Amino acid sequence: MLKYLLERKELTVGQISELIRFSFKSVSKHLSILENANLAKSRQIGLNKLYSINQKVQKKILHSLKRLVFSYSYK
């Protein structure tokens, strides 16, 4: 799910459901969990709710991973 959000920037529950072949209900529940964890965010456009990766959190995660990899490469 996160992979597709990273690749495509914004997707609806229905689009994600088709891509990963999970039920609409299951995808919706997982996105709710990701939103509560501040990893994903959403915005309403008409009847559609578009989900995307929280860019601020993504940058923090990438920065932490780079530090981790860098620290291990010099041991």
**Mind listing the domains of the chain with CATH numbers?**
2-73 (1.10.10.10)
pLDDT confidence band for 71 (50 / 70 / 90) = confident
What pLDDT, on the 0 to 100 scale, is given for residue 27?
Answer: 96
Average pLDDT score over residue span 16-37 = 94
Separate counts of helices (H) and strands (E) for the chain: 4, 2
Kindly state the tokens that stand for 44: 């309403």
pTM for the model stands at: 0.74
For 4-19, write each residue's pLDDT tens digit: 888 888 999 999 999 9
pLDDT per residue over 47-63, tens digit each? 999 999 988 887 887 78
Residue 13: CB atoms within 10 Å: 22
For residue 18, what pLDDT is reported? 95
Give the helix ranges, DSSP H, for 9-54.
Answer: 13-20, 24-36
